[in-house]
Amino acid sequence: MSSNETPAPGTWQLDAGSSTVSLGHKTFWGLVTVKGEFRTVSGGGELAADGTARGELSLAADSLDTGNKKRDEHLRSADFFDAAHHPELRFEARGIRPTGDALAVDGTLTVRGTTEPVSLTARRTEATAQAVRVEAETVIDPRRFGVLKEKSGMIKGDTTVRLSLRFVREG
């Protein structure tokens, strides 16, 4: 942790320019990992005096950048994220609580209009009275959300999501 300060209770906003949400998914029968990053992220939350928190994170479905324009267009299509009808992926953290050196995060993830529960463990890597960075890695089964309908077997399995989110205190 870059500081031992306790983050101040109150309203916090995501510092989008200092935050990343990336993913990795094995394709071609598990031989190649495609990596990408959502370029448009937003969010915020509330930190209570007891250290518990709640918040939300939104990702623009059409902002996923894998470095391949044709692949990115396909990922935005109805075959995958269906960005025209579901422009946002949304995580609502309904409960964030300290558990020793980590944070237990319970919430819901909505992709393609399907909402499923998600729990993960995060850690604070920066904490001052005015700024907090939270990092986490989790594995999501995209089939739970109607993503990965592709039948050839080239694309299957779980997706690893990595988050490095910096929040700044409002006011």
pLDDT, tens digit (0-9, with 9 covering 90-100), for 122-167: 999 999 989 999 999 999 988 888 776 555 444 567 889 999 999 9
pTM of the predicted structure, to 2 decimals: 0.89
Question: For residues 106 and 37, what is the distance between their CA atoms, to the nearest angstrom?
Answer: 23
Question: For residues 102 and 10, what is the distance between their CA atoms, to the nearest angstrom?
Answer: 20
Q: What is the CATH number of domain 10-169?
A: 2.40.128.110
* Lookup: tokens for 10: 């109150």
Stretch 27-44: mean pLDDT, rounded? 86
Instruction: Quote the mean pLDDT of the chain.
Output: 89
Stretch 79-84: mean pLDDT, rounded? 91
Question: What is the predicted pLDDT for the residue at 61?
Answer: 96
